[in-house]
Amino acid sequence: MRARTDLARLAEAEYDVAIIGGGIIGTGVARDAAMRGLRTVLFEKEDFCYGTSGRSSRMIHGGLRYLANYDLGLVREGLREREILLRLAPHLVRPLKFLIPIYGESFLHKMKLKIGMILYDLLSYDKSLPSHKYLDRESARSATRAGGERPERRLRLL
């Protein structure tokens, strides 16, 4: 992909696809189109990832939060896309463990979380990453201390 700022020269050529906006969506679509052999042009008015994409926390999340809205289709889509990115860009996408503390919640809320996580694992039946695990207090403590590493290097706490 070549970056050009010469609009006059761009106007002389013919393209199959013109994309406005060089955020993650626009660049992703441009990459896909170019890989399919389409003559592709991408217009960005500022700089690549100038907008929201430059402010993202860079998580390739698997749509866990959409479970709360019972949007199972979107969860499945997020999980599928995560697998694709793990396969396409293993040099950029690395698994990151999350430890989510649960305390002071009602029995009902805990059950809801358990069922939700089981459902999440079912929806990601073809994933390459491990399924969720429940840790008791002691295991959670030792998991964050294990190996003498600083906990935040191994696990990100929510």
CB of 82 to ligand FAD, least distance (A): 10
Query: For ligand FAD, how many residues bind (rule: CB under 6 A)?
Result: 21
Residues 51-70 contacting ligand FAD, CB under 6 A: 51-53, 55-59, 61
Candidates 42-50, 87-95, 117-125, 131-139; binding stretch for ligand FAD (CB under 6 A): 42-50
Regarding 46 and contact with ligand FAD (CB under 6 A), the answer is: yes
- Tell me whether residue 58 or residue 137 sits nearer to ligand FAD (CB atom): 58
**Is 120 in contact with 67 (CB distance < 8 Å)?**
yes
Closest residue by beta carbon to ligand FAD: 23
Which neighbouring-strand residues pair with 20?
A: 43
Candidates 1-9, 19-27, 109-117, 127-135; binding stretch for ligand FAD (CB under 6 A): 19-27
CB of 138 to ligand FAD, least distance (A): 31
Residues in the chain: 158
Q: Is 119 helix (H, G, I), strand (E, B) or coil?
A: helix
Burial label, 123 (beta-carbon count in 10 A; 0-12, 13-18, 19+): buried
**Is 74 in contact with 51 (CB distance < 8 Å)?**
no
Burial label, 42 (beta-carbon count in 10 A; 0-12, 13-18, 19+): buried
Binding site for ligand FAD (CB under 6 A): 20-26, 43-46, 50-53, 55-59, 61
